[in-house]
Amino acid sequence: MTMWCKGSKLASTTVQENFLRELKRFSTGSVLNKKHSCKLLIVGGGSGGCSVGAKYASKLGKGNVIIIEPSEKHYYQPMFTLIGGGMKTLENSCRPTKSVLPKNAVWLKDYVVKFDPAKNQVMLKGGDTVEYEFMVTAIGLQLNFNAVEGLVDALKTPGVCSNYAPEYVTKTFEDLKKFKEGNAIFTFPNTPVKCAGAPQKIMYIAEHYFRKTGRRDKANIIYNTSLPVIFGVKKYACALNQLCDERGIKVNLRHNLIKVDPAKKEAVFENLDSPGSYMTLDYSLLHVSPPMSAPKVLQDCKELVDSTGFLDVSKDTLLHKKFDNIFGIGDCTNLPTSKTGAAVASQLRTLRLNLDSRMKNEELTAKYLGYTSCPLVTGYNSCILAEFDYNGAPMETFPVDQGKERLSMFMMKKYIMPELYWNLMLRGYWEGPAIFRKIMHLGFR
């Protein structure tokens, strides 16, 4: 705290600072706000933003990279599935943002509230603006819990949970423990989602948990999904359908959750193939994967997005379709592949090579094939490791049939992938398993 000393230089500085702070608070003009500028601006310091930042902060040197990220906490979201199943804690999945952002980059702890790509600048919630030569957009997607009637209130009541957000994920295991009997319902929304496997992974874990704790015969397990198939890739869909048959899980396709009534413990689903017809189910446990969308700030900038509101980039080069100094990575883009951290890692290589070329005014030659991966955890000791490309063709790393449940893949998901994420990916050293795939298949893939 500054001491008040009449007449001293310190006192007058403090008065001046306070005056300026107050003036800035009440000022509607922009004279007191800062104008930052940089060679490379990265918007979002999640999986994509951190990895790109790590690559370029050392390459471009101190102060040339600015990362805008509002959150003080960085979560390894793929761990949320294991937290929901009681296998990890929320603390295991979280590190301070400061510790994962590259030291050479400038971190502005703020939100972008407006993109102005024609002027090469963004506006921040605190009033500052940032001008850039190149920008990488990595702001993920937005969870819209309030798009389902009654859901936000229902999430405060016993039996309703969601692995999708850090504020709810620890409740999932609490609710699994409290479950006694009745319907245990798991949902998949009628929107793009991140990690398309996550809505059903927790269901298989719950099913196994009820078996382990002697309550399986009391549970009626139901998967209500908006999709017309259980999974978008045929090979893994066959395996999962068989799994559901064997474990007595009822799958209702094309059913979208529209309302939750916590007082009656009822969930209402619309039949998407028969608009206006509804299915109402009572629940003892309801795990909700919420509707998701591109962040509103992105949707609001029509020059940057396509008709779905996601960043409009070339599916091959990741360069924006209109602005040749803007690239996108991760969940906020309209890349037609499954939105996962694994996809981000693979996109990083393409982005790095093409951004380097763009900075040198050379042609872009690197091409992203849509590689993505989803470790479909099917219990406390098994996992199907799905890996595929834009065409839904499997791109498996290991020389075994990855369509089968395996303990080895589960161990990798639980122990190896988190290390890979914190120590390699966020430091810019992990660009997907392409090299290992080649080695494991003796150079033939």
Ligand X SMILES: Cc1cc2nc3c(=O)[nH]c(=O)nc-3n(C[C@H](O)[C@H](O)[C@H](O)COP(=O)(O)OP(=O)(O)OC[C@H]3O[C@@H](n4cnc5c(N)ncnc54)[C@H](O)[C@@H]3O)c2cc1C
| 374 is annotated as an active-site residue | yes
- Which residues, in sequence order, are bridge partners of residue 35? 129
Please state, in angstroms and rounded to a whole number, the distance separating the CA atoms of residues 183 and 281: 8
Q: Which residues contact 59 (CB under 8 A, 6 or more apart)?
A: none
Please state, in angstroms and rounded to a whole number, the distance separating the CA atoms of residues 190 and 224: 11
Q: How many CB atoms lie within 10 A of CB 114?
A: 13
Please state, in angstroms and rounded to a whole number, the distance separating the CA atoms of residues 390 and 369: 6
Residue 169 C-beta: closest distance to ligand X, Å: 7
353, 367 contact by CB (below 8 A) = no
How far are the Cα atoms of 12, 86, 96, 414, 432 from residue 92, in angstroms, in the given order?
47, 12, 12, 11, 23
Please state, in angstroms and rounded to a whole number, the distance separating the CA atoms of residues 237 and 230: 6
Q: What is the DSSP string of 66-126?
A: EEE---SEEE-GGGHHHHHTTSS-TGGGEEEHHHHS-TTSEEE-S-EEEEEGGGTEEEETT
Choosing from 38, 54, 57, 68, the residue that interacts with ligand X (CB under 6 A) is 68
Please state, in angstroms and rounded to a whole number, the distance separating the CA atoms of residues 19 and 24: 9
Residue 139 C-beta: closest distance to ligand X, Å: 4
- Which residues, in sequence order, are bridge partners of residue 122? 115, 130
Q: Which of 50, 244, 332, 374 is catalytic?
A: 374
Residues 342-361 that bind ligand X (CB under 6 A): 342, 344
Instruction: Annotate each residue in 201-240 with x if it binds ligand X (CB under 6 A) or - if it does not, as one string.
Output: ----------------------------------------
Residue 84 C-beta: closest distance to ligand X, Å: 8
Choosing from 42, 43, 227, 239, the residue that interacts with ligand X (CB under 6 A) is 43
Choosing from 183, 200, 340, 347, the residue that interacts with ligand X (CB under 6 A) is 340
Choosing from 41, 42, 45, 56, the residue that interacts with ligand X (CB under 6 A) is 45
Six token digits for residue 376: 């479909």
Choosing from 40, 57, 82, 139, the residue that interacts with ligand X (CB under 6 A) is 139
54 or 265: whose CB is closer to ligand X?
54
163 or 402: whose CB is closer to ligand X?
163
Q: Which of 38, 161, 195, 244 is catalytic?
A: 195
140 binds ligand X per the rule CB under 6 A? yes
Choosing from 41, 47, 267, 305, the residue that interacts with ligand X (CB under 6 A) is 47
270 or 331: whose CB is closer to ligand X?
331
Closest residue by Cα to residue 230 from 270, 186, 277, 294: 186
Residue 419 C-beta: closest distance to ligand X, Å: 14
DSSP 3-state of 339: strand
53 binds ligand X per the rule CB under 6 A? no
Distance from the Cα of residue 47 to its chain's centroid: 8
Please state, in angstroms and rounded to a whole number, the distance separating the CA atoms of residues 225 and 190: 8
State which amino acid sits at residue 129: T
71 or 157: whose CB is closer to ligand X?
71
112 binds ligand X per the rule CB under 6 A? yes
Query: Residue-wise over 118-131: b if at least 16 C-beta within 10 A, else e?
Result: eebbbbbeebbbbb
81 or 317: whose CB is closer to ligand X?
81
Residues 358-397 that bind ligand X (CB under 6 A): 375
Choosing from 295, 370, 403, 428, the residue that interacts with ligand X (CB under 6 A) is 295
| 195 is annotated as an active-site residue | yes
81 binds ligand X per the rule CB under 6 A? yes
The dihedrals phi and psi of 23, each to the nearest 5 degrees, come to -60, -40
173 binds ligand X per the rule CB under 6 A? no
Choosing from 38, 41, 48, 368, the residue that interacts with ligand X (CB under 6 A) is 48
Please state, in angstroms and rounded to a whole number, the distance separating the CA atoms of residues 142 and 295: 5
State the distance between the two ends of the chain, measured CA to CA, in whole angstroms. 63
Question: Count residues contacting ligand X (CB under 6 A)?
Answer: 36
Choosing from 41, 42, 54, 80, the residue that interacts with ligand X (CB under 6 A) is 80
Residue number closest to ligand X, CB atom:
46
297 binds ligand X per the rule CB under 6 A? yes
262 or 295: whose CB is closer to ligand X?
295
159 or 330: whose CB is closer to ligand X?
330
Residue 138 C-beta: closest distance to ligand X, Å: 5
The HSE-up count of residue 296 (CA atoms within 13 Å, CB side) is 4
Choosing from 102, 328, 330, 379, the residue that interacts with ligand X (CB under 6 A) is 330
* Residue positions annotated with a catalytic role: 195, 374
Contacts with ligand X by CB under 6 A lie at 43-49, 68-71, 77-78, 80-81, 111-112, 138-140, 163-164, 194-195, 198, 295, 297, 330-332, 339-342, 344, 375
